[in-house]
Structure 1
Amino acid sequence: MSHDHNYQTGNYNRAFAIGVILNVMFVILEAGYGVVAGSLALIADAGHNLSDVLSLLLAWGAALLATKPATEKRTYGFRKVTIMASLASAIVLLGALGGITWEAIGRFFDPKPVQGMTIIAVAAIGVVINTITALLFVSGRKHDLNIRGAFLHMAADAGVSLGVVVAGVIIMVTGWLLIDPFVSILIVAVILIGTWSLLRDSMNLALDSVPEGIDVAGIKKYLTGLENVSQIHDLHVWPMSTTEVALSVHLIVVDDSWSHDFLPELQQQLHDRFSIEHSTIQVERPDDEPCMLNKNECI
């Protein structure tokens, strides 16, 4: 039985390209006007958008690598690169947040004058660009950690840019300069929430934890409930990439009465019912030599 392992990169090549181009242009615009207007909020948002560009490039490159065929040296190909890209993206973003926080704290003790109208105009452009970019990835956010990361980054950016617009209005009305570093800290807090989730999920996948949404208890119940199966052991479920899940298991059968299409049907059921793309199943008989992996530390 074969499944499509093409990662569906082609569906998102255009989305990645458009997202990168739009955000690079906006980063240059926002950073430039942030310096001119003396606004840390704009510069902070530009720095975050730059990290998003890097994240998009990482995700795009990883998606392309994931389509390369397996070799004798890399028997799973480069699928795992997608997980590494998600992890790297989260780490880069955390570093950027640390720099923004440090600068914002300094501004609380030494407020700088800013140009409210410039902040409003530039941030409003950011709302539009980030919303457009987020919509490019909305359809794939539930099926791929990389796509989800891209969507969350862009959606958060749209909200953050809207917050910067509000900050510009408040500065124009009240003249309160502390609102600029205050909004910068809020930006960091909002982004940190999404980044922590991305870091946690990426780390779990990097450690071959069971991917979110995979029902291991349901899989065990299904396998042990199969006709002619008396016991299972050495069950493992792990991510091959941000989109594909693998499983291996040993089944002890009562006798040799199972049909020749038993394994293909079992693989198909694991795919359809539990989203297992790649399953490896070893069948054993009760009178076989004891399996060296049938022990307490094996599930």
Structure 2
Amino acid sequence: MSHDHSHACSHGHEHGQGHGHAHSHHGHAHPTPGPDDWNRAFAIGIGLNIAFVVVEALYGWKAGSLALLADAGHNLSDVAGLILAWGAALAGRLAPTRHRTYGWQRASILAALANAVLLLVAMGALAVEAFQRLQAPEPVAGWTVIVVAAIGVLINGVTAALFMVGSKDDLNIRGAFLHMAADALVSLGVVAAGVLYLQFGWVWLDPVMSLVIALVIVLGTWGLLRQSLHLAFDGVPEGIDLLEVHDWLRSQPGVTGVHDLHVWALGTSEVALTAHLVMPAGHPGDAFFTELARVLAQRFRIHHPTIQIEIDGIDDGCPAPHVPG
């Protein structure tokens, strides 16, 4: 089995026995912000949240509000999550080496997975505290809770907005976005709990609202956990139909067979493909690979294809994936 996973590109390289191999790295055309924009977003988000954690923890302690203290703890986990995501984004831009031919792109997948786990752990801790407080509800300083939590809505909302665009295309950025959007939701719930407490004097509302918020965030985080775990084990990225890719490759002029087809994520925004194409007529020329790379990038979001041409299909013992039709 002859897969070339080096980062260098070569077109039309001829092997013995008439087998051709070509690696095509098509130019990217991502509409998402560039590295400098993300650096700015991460720096602003981390700075704002560190300042808010200090303020919220102080006033949460003074006001005796579990919701505020829990939100401060969650904000602290968000700071860690943002630092993790930023580090992964920076690592993913490191150049490939002879020891790591794809660089550190997978760091973004691992950071997204860690962010999901961090969120779930934080919500678990919040739920435990809320259950304990429900057994012995305590009064809280309603206006203090409302004002501090309202500031949290603003800070977390602004930070989430910084990552909103990239959350659609990059799972690592989506993890950062979900962290901040979840925090904004928590703070909004705390505001609501404070208003209702002032109106009706329900001391049980603070921990109950914390439980409801925790449940909502867990449900929202589950998709991030599932996707990042899937990509960590080289799963086909969401939105790519392996059968459709196979059929499209098979439909290309001169192609009579496709085997050893693999599609996986190098990172949270980069997808790779390897495939053997059986072409009895021989090597199709560089124009064939250029067009192949262009369509794979535009139609399937695959920017790192490696294609091997074979005159006759070779059984190299690599099992074909089961693709339900």
Same fold (TM over 0.5): yes
| Alpha-carbon distance between aligned partners in 2 of 1:97 and 1:298, rounded to the nearest angstrom | 37
Larger CA deviation: 238-247 vs 141-150: 141-150
Contact in 1 for aligned 2:261/2:276 (Cα 8 Å): yes
| RMSD of aligned Cα (Å) | 1.9
| Structure 1 residues 132-159: Cα deviation after superposition (integer angstroms, max 9, x where no partner) | 1111111111110111122222222222
Could you tell me which residue of structure 1 aligns to residue 256 of structure 2? 230
Contact in 1 for aligned 2:280/2:310 (Cα 8 Å): no
Deviation at 1:89, TM superposition (A): 1.2
Could you tell me which residue of structure 1 aligns to residue 315 of structure 2? 291
| Alpha-carbon distance between aligned partners in 2 of 1:294 and 1:199, rounded to the nearest angstrom | 30
1:128 is the counterpart of 2:143? no
Stretches of structure 1 that go unaligned for 5 or more consecutive residues are none
Could you tell me which residue of structure 2 aligns to residue 148 of structure 1? 174
Q: 1:215 aligns with which of 234, 241, 244?
A: 241
Residues 5 and 52 of structure 1: CA distance in aligned 2, closer, same or farther (over 3 Å): farther
Contact in 2 for aligned 1:27/1:50 (Cα 8 Å): yes
Stretches of structure 2 that go unaligned for 5 or more consecutive residues are 1-23
| Structure 1 residues 198-224: Cα deviation after superposition (integer angstroms, max 9, x where no partner) | 111110110111111123222112101
1:137 is the counterpart of 2:166? no
1:96 is the counterpart of 2:122? yes
| Structure 1 residues 79-109: Cα deviation after superposition (integer angstroms, max 9, x where no partner) | 0001111111111222211211111111111
Equivalent pairs counted in the alignment come to 297
1:282 is the counterpart of 2:308? yes
| Structure 1 residues 38-87: Cα deviation after superposition (integer angstroms, max 9, x where no partner) | 10111111111111111111110000011111111111100000111111
| Alpha-carbon distance between aligned partners in 1 of 2:291 and 2:167, rounded to the nearest angstrom | 30
Could you tell me which residue of structure 1 aligns to residue 141 of structure 2? 115
More relative contact order, 1 or 2 (CA 8 Å, 6+ apart): 2
Residues 260 and 89 of structure 1: CA distance in aligned 2, closer, same or farther (over 3 Å): closer
Local SS of the residue matching 1:237: strand
| Alpha-carbon distance between aligned partners in 1 of 2:231 and 2:286, rounded to the nearest angstrom | 34
Contact in 2 for aligned 1:209/1:238 (Cα 8 Å): yes
Deviation at 1:260, TM superposition (A): 3.5
Could you tell me which residue of structure 2 aligns to residue 258 of structure 1? 284
With the length of structure 2 as denominator, give the TM-score of the two structures. 0.87
Contact in 2 for aligned 1:233/1:298 (Cα 8 Å): no
Give the % identical residues: 51
Deviation at 1:292, TM superposition (A): 0.7
| Alpha-carbon distance between aligned partners in 1 of 2:164 and 2:321, rounded to the nearest angstrom | 41
Deviation at 1:187, TM superposition (A): 1.7
